[in-house]
Amino acid sequence: MNKTEAFPAAERLILRETPEQNIIEVELSGKISKEDYERLAPELERLIQRYGKIRVLVIMRDFHGWRMGALWQDIKFDLQHFKHFEKIAFVGEKKWQEWMSNICLPFTTGEIRYFRRDRLNEAREWLQSNDKSVKKAA
């Protein structure tokens, strides 16, 4: 078993919803499959239906990216919900993850910021605030 398969499905994708708020935390580990993404999409859809716009905290811990099927699902979802993401905070540990957050900029009308792992609490505070900072990775 290689390192990216070492995470059981339940541990590759962990979802935490903030009660009575339009915020969801998505913790990613290992390599995300199409099946993992199919667990995530309905939860995001449900929050979009409830709030109109959502805020997402993406925490990447030992994250190795997406399998091709999951990447395709992600692209389709992002194009369909271009205007439904108000803020996205990426929290990571690798330079490519920071780079990835910048690649996402053209795919949403919302704000995107990148935070190093040691700034997780700052990312949560930013998501909850009404701060309208510049739309770029921090």
> Is residue 110, in this structure, part of any structural domain at all?
yes
The dihedral sign for the CA sequence 103, 104, 109, 111: negative
43 or 122, which is more confident:
122
pLDDT surpasses 80 at 132:
no
How many independent structural domains does the chain possess?
1
In the predicted structure, residue 138 carries a pLDDT above the cut 50 = no
Per-residue model confidence as pLDDT tens digits over 88-104: 899 988 876 676 776 66
pLDDT in tens, 72-84: 466 555 655 668 8
Tell me what pLDDT residue 128 has: 92
pLDDT of 41 reads 84
Q: What is the pTM of this model?
A: 0.77
pLDDT > 70: what percent of the chain? Answer: 68
Q: Which residues contact 91 (CB under 8 A, 6 or more apart)?
A: 57, 58, 59, 60, 114, 115, 116, 117, 119, 120, 123
Print the domain residue range for 114: 3-128
The CATH number that applies at residue 37 is: 3.30.750.24
Residue 137 lies in a domain: no
